Amino acid sequence: MAHLLHHHCADYFFQLYTATRHSEARLAQWQEIDLQTGVWTIPEHKMEVEHTVTLSSPILKMIKELDTHPHSKEDYIFKNSRNDKEYSENAINTMLKRLGYAKEELTPHGLRGTFSTILNDKLDEHGLSSDVIEACLAHSISNKTARSYNHAQYEKQKAKLLEYWGNLLGDII
């Protein structure tokens, strides 16, 4: 895993394991991560509402390995070693292209669809609802009436589902 920590694909694996949007993973900052609780809080100014992600065991291990390098709380977790800034939006697309994937085959945003499809297909196995999958993806309830009644955050269920997902992916990082 250590060889990936200094490579710009680490944010791709971070996105894969957390089911977040590419920009959220790419622009994650140390001040958003609580290593004690294993929770990443994406602030409201980066999204429409604050969103919490409980980090699965494999991704928490990766983050703790990254945390051994000097950084300030405002630093991006994943930054370009050439200029000490965040990676460009196209860095992952360039990496995927170099690995031989056409843009139509694999995209950072496509990971979220993969997450949803696989976990919806395995509802019986993990025992959680599609509402929890949608909550992990930070999607709001589309039905306005239902949304006005249901304010659940599903924190424990999201943590369980992301740990299941991390185990399903295995230690690929």
> pLDDT of 19-40, one tens digit each?
999 889 989 999 999 999 999 9
**Range of lowest pLDDT (44-48, 77-81, 109-113, 162-166):** 77-81
Alpha carbons 150 and 22: distance in angstroms, whole number? 27
Q: Which CATH number fits domain 2-169: 1.10.443.10, 1.10.10.10, 1.20.120.140, 2.60.120.10?
A: 1.10.443.10
Alpha carbons 27 and 128: distance in angstroms, whole number? 29
Q: What is the reported pTM? A: 0.83
Residue 85, phi then psi, degrees to nearest 5: -120, 175
Which of helix, strand or coil describes residue 100?
Answer: coil
